[in-house]
Chain A
Amino acid sequence: MITGTLLFQSLILGVLLGGLYALLAAGLTLYFGIMRVVMLAHAAFIILAAYIAWRFSTATGLDPMISLVFTIPLFFGIGFAIQRWLISRLKPATMTMMSVLITFAIALIIEGLLGQVFTGTQRRINLPYGASSVDFFGAAIPVVQIISFVLAGLSLIALYLVLKKTRFGRALRATIQHREAAQLVGIDTNRTAGLGFGLGLATAAVGGTALSLQATIFPSLHWHWIGPLMAIIVVGGLGSVPGAAIAALLLGIIRVMLELWWTPTWAQTIFYLALFLTLMVRPQGFFGGRLAQRF
């Protein structure tokens, strides 16, 4: 029996979740824009970041968000390294396919190592505020979700500022828009691509930490996320960060609200339905604007 409160609460929860999705999808679409790479390992890195946050928290007793101090630069470096030493070695003719295999391999390796080191047991951080909630016009909103949302929001704003206001951001956008033209204008596209990758993976670090606050993590969790994230970036338009953000918010809200009527599993299928519809009806995505193209 669905009451108004329940509906309102789901809406709020949907928005919060959508915000998190937006951050996670932003990185994924960034890789694609830069190098036409479908980075399957993105979700695995998100989970890795979550594990680091959990381990940090259990080992030091400090709040897991503090781990961001070293995970962000670490992941940035790893992203740069992956682009420079792995992706760039692939022949451009088979770039998409081979990069999928390489990133898939990386995802497997990460999952295997996590399972090896931490075993398959599900983990959750015991936070002092883990069980508390805030009352918002009758809806009970868990504190951890609000914090995740704030973290995601801040990172997205930061990403936006970097992309729009800095030289690097402009170089990156140019590289995404048209690589050859960017080169003609004098941009070192290789280096920019590397830094862009690093940026994408840095968002994974933040996203993973935000996730660790509210979710239970286990090594194969990334498979649970990569599907929806891929669907989001397609719906939003491959390569477009704002497109991905809008699609994420929309689909996040729909998914949570669907749980009122359907079981959570069926609600999850909305992503795949949206993916299929988008490809059939408008393959270049709905929200990408001029940036998203048919690659």
Chain B
Amino acid sequence: MSTKRLTRGIGVGAVAMLALAACGGNGDDGAGGGNGDGGSEDPIDIGISLPLTGDFAEPGKGVERGYETWAHVVNENGGLLGRQVELNILDDASDAARVVSDYESLIARDEVDLVFGPFSTRLVVPASRVANEYGMLFVEPAAAAAEVFENGFENIFYAAPAIAPDHYNHLVDHILAMPEDERPQTMAVAAMDDPFAQGTAYGLRDKLAEAGVQVVVDEVYPPNQTDFNAIAAQIADADPDLVVGGTQYQDAVNLILALQQLNYQPRMAAFSTAPTNPEFPEAVGGAVEGILSPTGYSNEADWPSNAEFVEAHTELHGEPPQEDEANAYTTGQVVAAAVEEVGCAEQGECQQQLIDYLRDATVDTVVGPLAWDEAGRPNGAHMLLQYIDGEIEIVLPEDTSTAELVYPKPEW
């Protein structure tokens, strides 16, 4: 290694370093050097990282739409604390290392005033750590798995009625309320190895098992599994009364197709997430009759802010909102409520005040009134929807239902 090359190397290195320092220091647009001083003209910057590309792109874009609707509605109504809100959204491509850098750059480099959470448990956990270590309030629309709340962070709040294990609580109550000989006696569980999907399925499984329902098949499959013949064969062979899928989307479709191919007819079928997707009925060849699914949101629910939300969203995006979009909107509502009450929106002390306020508050949102425990878990419960005559109906809890739960399930 000659000195000539060495000096050249060092020279390049030094130049590179300086160039990078210059690049990185520029920060962003003129949204102000951060701490929101400057009166009511200065917009509130909200930093968000979402998976707009990669594995979680579909729901990620849904969350983005929800946030946009929220910003639109808030700005139309005069903004927060008299200031307009501006969303600063970065794409993390469904990558955990990326989401950390994104929030780091939003908080430390762009000095945003507030942050909203990303989508998916895989991304929320590392992101919440960043927010926690900078002392920021972290309301998130999408991570419901138990472990999100077990890290000892005090700044997380989940913007939906219940965490994953509690999604099926109403169904459990309904089943246990049935006379013993009518109830499902056996159940099969097939869950994706994903904290959320498993969370929902195992919540149902554990509560029913405790009540005496026998678990005859209990399978886990990796997220990218596409071939369900083996699992379906096991389930069909055991012929349980109830089949529970801890699923996302395509896996549910594939599993249901496989079960159909084997001619297995469950008496009750519950799948998470997939049935709430508008493409679901076509994907499973129309065989949706009687399928149950937990949902946190419904367009027709008559919470006070819901009508405005549905209208604004349909106008802005051309379609009524889905659950992910609603959760995003809810996130915005929760943060807005705290900001309005506490009266500030900036990094630093303010964030802790926002956190303390939300700890004891109840906020009215499009999914109903939300309140949280000391780890940020909401204390509500999800509704149950069911496909009846090809239409989605809310069947549980009875007081908000639009139709009665159909049991046993008609053939595929």
Q: Indicate if the CB atoms of B282 and A264 lie closer than 8 Å.
A: no
- A-binding segment of B49-57, B109-117, B304-312, B314-322: B49-57
Closest to B52 in A: A119
Q: Indicate if the CB atoms of B283 and A6 lie closer than 8 Å.
A: no
Our pick among A120, A140, A224 for the contact of B263 (Cβ within 8 Å) is A140
Q: Indicate if the CB atoms of A260 and B230 lie closer than 8 Å.
A: yes
A9 at the interface (CB under 8 A from B): yes
Q: Which residues of B contact A214 (CB under 8 A)?
A: 227
Q: Which residues of A contact B219 (CB under 8 A)?
A: 263
A265 at the interface (CB under 8 A from B): yes
Q: What mask results when residues 192 to 235 of chain B are scored 1 for a CB within 8 Å of chain A, else 0?
A: 01000000000000000000000000011110111101110110
| Interface residues in B, total, Cβ within 8 A | 39
Q: Indicate if the CB atoms of A124 and B283 lie closer than 8 Å.
A: yes
Our pick among A6, A115, A121 for the contact of B233 (Cβ within 8 Å) is A6
Q: What distance in Å separates the Cβ of A135 from its nearest Cβ neighbour in chain B?
A: 9
Taking A10-B233, A264-B222, A264-B227 as contacts, is the C-beta distance between A124 and B250 under 8 angstroms? yes
Q: Indicate if the CB atoms of A124 and B237 lie closer than 8 Å.
A: no
B131 at the interface (CB under 8 A from A): no
Q: Indicate if the CB atoms of B287 and A6 lie closer than 8 Å.
A: no
Q: Indicate if the CB atoms of B224 and A140 lie closer than 8 Å.
A: no
Q: What mask results when residues 229 to 261 of chain A are scored 1 for a CB within 8 Å of chain B, else 0?
A: 000000000000000000000000000100110
Q: What mask results when residues 275 to 290 of chain A are scored 1 for a CB within 8 Å of chain B, else 0?
A: 0000000000000000
B285 at the interface (CB under 8 A from A): yes
Q: What distance in Å separates the Cβ of B199 from its nearest Cβ neighbour in chain A?
A: 18
Q: Which residues of A contact B57 (CB under 8 A)?
A: 119-121
Q: What distance in Å separates the Cβ of A132 from its nearest Cβ neighbour in chain B?
A: 7
Q: What mask results when residues 244 to 274 of chain B are scored 1 for a CB within 8 Å of chain A, else 0?
A: 0000011001100110111100000000000
Q: Indicate if the CB atoms of A265 and B222 lie closer than 8 Å.
A: yes
Task: Report Cα–Cα, A216/B221, bound state, in Å.
Answer: 15
Q: Indicate if the CB atoms of A115 and B53 lie closer than 8 Å.
A: yes
B37 at the interface (CB under 8 A from A): no
Q: What distance in Å separates the Cβ of A58 from its nearest Cβ neighbour in chain B?
A: 11
Q: Indicate if the CB atoms of B230 and A259 lie closer than 8 Å.
A: yes
| Interface residues in A, total, Cβ within 8 A | 36
Q: Which residues of B contact A122 (CB under 8 A)?
A: 226, 249-250
Taking A6-B233, A124-B250, A140-B262 as contacts, is the C-beta distance between A1 and B238 under 8 angstroms? yes
A215 at the interface (CB under 8 A from B): yes
Contacting B at CB under 8 A, from A122-143, are 122, 124, 126, 130-133, 140, 142
Closest to B264 in A: A140
Contacting B at CB under 8 A, from A1-17, are 1, 3, 5-6, 9-10, 13
Task: Report Cα–Cα, A131/B259, bound state, in Å.
Answer: 9
B120 at the interface (CB under 8 A from A): no
A221 at the interface (CB under 8 A from B): yes
B169 at the interface (CB under 8 A from A): no
A76 at the interface (CB under 8 A from B): no
B411 at the interface (CB under 8 A from A): no
Task: Report Cα–Cα, A256/B219, bound state, in Å.
Answer: 15
Our pick among B94, B226, B230, B238 for the contact of A256 (Cβ within 8 Å) is B230
Closest to A16 in B: B229
A218 at the interface (CB under 8 A from B): yes
Our pick among B231, B261, B262, B263 for the contact of A264 (Cβ within 8 Å) is B231
What 5 A-B pairs have minimum CB-CB distances, sorted nearest first?
Answer: A259-B230, A122-B250, A216-B226, A133-B261, A131-B260
Sampled A-B contacts (11; CB under 8 Å): A6-B233, A10-B230, A120-B57, A131-B285, A133-B262, A142-B261, A216-B250, A217-B226, A263-B219, A263-B220, A264-B222
**Given A3-B237, A13-B230, 16 more contacts at CB 8 Å?**
A115-B54, A120-B53, A120-B54, A124-B254, A132-B261, A140-B263, A142-B229, A142-B261, A215-B227, A216-B253, A218-B224, A221-B224, A260-B230, A264-B225, A264-B227, A264-B230
